[in-house]
Structure 1
Amino acid sequence: MGTSRGRGPASRKPWLVLAAVATLMTCGSAASAQDAAALKKSMIGQWELSTTERSKTCVVTLGSESSPHGLKLDLEPGCAISLPFTKDIAAWTVAGLDIVRLQTAAGEPVIDFTEVESGIFEGRRENEGIYILQNLAEARSLAKSMDQMIGDWAFVRGNGQTVCGITLTNTEVPPDNFQAFLKPKCDPAIASFKPEVWRLDHGEILLMSADGETWHFQADDNAQWRLVPDTANPLILVRQ
């Protein structure tokens, strides 16, 4: 009486395994192409290209039409003065899955951007630093927010007691910050911290001392800014 032979995984025909692998690779390639196409579509429109502190800006309009060098784009007059490297930019494209590339007429990258948060892209140029690509309307909204921060503020405790004053200015302190000045007769903890610069960053007011210590303030439901993490005796920034 003959014995039946098993038909386990090792006995499956090699072409079936190869077909399965090929199918997975095809599906993966299709998904990747869809991701790149979706990113390309989402980028069409007006964007602000800027230094991180927005002291130098340039409006870039990314188009959908093909050109010999990639996809068409327009740079507003004056871009090459504000950001000299932009004079080499002739087109744009999406490289790989998620890289927004501004490139030369020869197709060489001038700067590559990757998304760091929704609608905000970050790119680096060697020996120059980091640049930001952001939706133009949102960037201008942020600029308005910055303008609204400039002026006199009070540090107030949770019981309503004012313990110090500070002036936030628009005087740039490279690379990314602006000058801040404490007023006299401050609470010892604040006087010891002695913030000298500030900036808006991801929806927070950052105050920084000369030695690099940073206090983070987040907006609360009362249009005030609270030091985080919160404590039983909170410190609040209130506009004067």
Structure 2
Amino acid sequence: MFEDEYRQTQLNPLRIEHFLKDSCMLFPPSTTPLSGVEFIKRLPSGDIERARRSIRVFFLVRALFLELSSIAETELPLTKPENLLKLNDKIDFHNCDLIACTVHMTERKDRRFLVIDQMQFILIEPDSTKISWGIVKFCALMQDVEVANDKEDSRSLHITIHKPVANIYVKTSPPILNAKFTFDDHIRCMTAKQNLNKGRQRARQMKLSKIAAILEIETAPTNAMNHLKLLTTTTSYTQHQF
């Protein structure tokens, strides 16, 4: 949610002229999404929307503070695109832990090597022109990976990677990847599952640590979400007061 709200604020920044041209601003503020009014033009409804509003207020206050202080933003976004591998990039996998697998797609089967990075899920194929190098054929964020066992084959896993969405109410967005992965034996299959689950947990923990640093919380990273809940409660109380 934290990253989705930041992405949304960057894609659709608040503009006064946009509000002045909208006739819905002349009516009493709505509190339900069923009214058809955009989220930024109405009051939040429910705990999720109050949390979203608190996060957006934090981003606005932070941006104002940094601008007035002439300080460049270095913490956001949490994931820097320039630090991520991209499709067709070449990487040296000499010191990487590779797990060979067959990816069963709808219309084809591909032989790939799975690499679990700190932040990314990567599928590579060896580079025929350079020893110990590979070409990235697929990559996605580890935090969005879901793994499930195949009930009929102990050597296979069903891996789904969800696409980040800007709208929290969108539940039908198709996944980036939804495929069956078959490994050489069940031991490698279980190893891959454990590494994927640990990698996902590690990636999310790193994000929580960054959020805690942005919120200037010196305690455990898990308290970052508790702090966001506190902001939500405070915002809700303030709304009732006024």
| TM-score normalised by the chain length of structure 2 | 0.26
Who wins on radius of gyration, i.e. which is larger? 1
Return the structure number with greater strand share. 1
